[in-house]
Amino acid sequence: MKTLLNIIWLVFAGLWLALGYVLAGVICCILIVTIPFGIASFRIAGYALWPFGRTVVDKPTAGAWSTIGNVIWVVVAGIWLAIGHVVTAIPLFVSIIGIPLGIANLKMIPVSLLPLGKDIVPSAAPYTAYQR
């Protein structure tokens, strides 16, 4: 079922959202200081292409720099990407098939606003990556 949802997602929303994240990542990689934002944007672009079966978790090692970076990110690109998610979710809610996709789209807004200090992991065992 995840694969079917991911294919439908890719056609109706994922490709356009991923292109937005890639564009934001390329723009952020122009300056050396904003390269971490570009890397986070590229990571989320992969998540935007194929979101079902994966989830976003907090990195336990994230600190104050992630918080400061997230504030800068919201101003530079986060608000525009979040608006893109809302604009993409509205037409998805119109059809019965698109409702789960619209919900998934709205669930991606927090990571589009605050990407630093987050990690994208498989949904089956979200915290096993940090357990040792």
Tens digit of pLDDT at every position of the chain (132 positions): 788 888 888 988 889 889 989 998 999 899 888 898 899 999 999 999 988 888 888 888 878 888 898 898 898 888 988 998 999 899 989 988 889 889 989 999 999 998 888 888 888 766 665 554
Q: What is residue 90's predicted lDDT score, i.e. its pLDDT?
A: 92
Whole-prediction pTM:
0.81
Q: What is residue 3's predicted lDDT score, i.e. its pLDDT?
A: 87
Q: What is residue 95's predicted lDDT score, i.e. its pLDDT?
A: 86
According to the 3-state scheme, what is the secondary structure of the chain? CHHHHHHHHHHHHHHHHHHHHHHHHHHHCCCCCCHHHHHHHHHHHHHHHCCCCEEEEECCCCCHHHHHHHHHHHHHHHHHHHHHHHHHHHHHHHCCCCHHHHHHHHHCHHHHHCCCCEEEEECCCCCCCCCC
Q: What is residue 127's predicted lDDT score, i.e. its pLDDT?
A: 62
The residue ranges of every structural domain in the chain are 2-122
Q: Letter for the amino acid at 87?
A: V
CB-based contact 29:40 (threshold 8 Å): no
Q: What is residue 29's predicted lDDT score, i.e. its pLDDT?
A: 92
Quote the CA–CA distance of 111 and 76 in Å, as a whole number.
15
Q: What is residue 79's predicted lDDT score, i.e. its pLDDT?
A: 92
CB-based contact 68:115 (threshold 8 Å): no
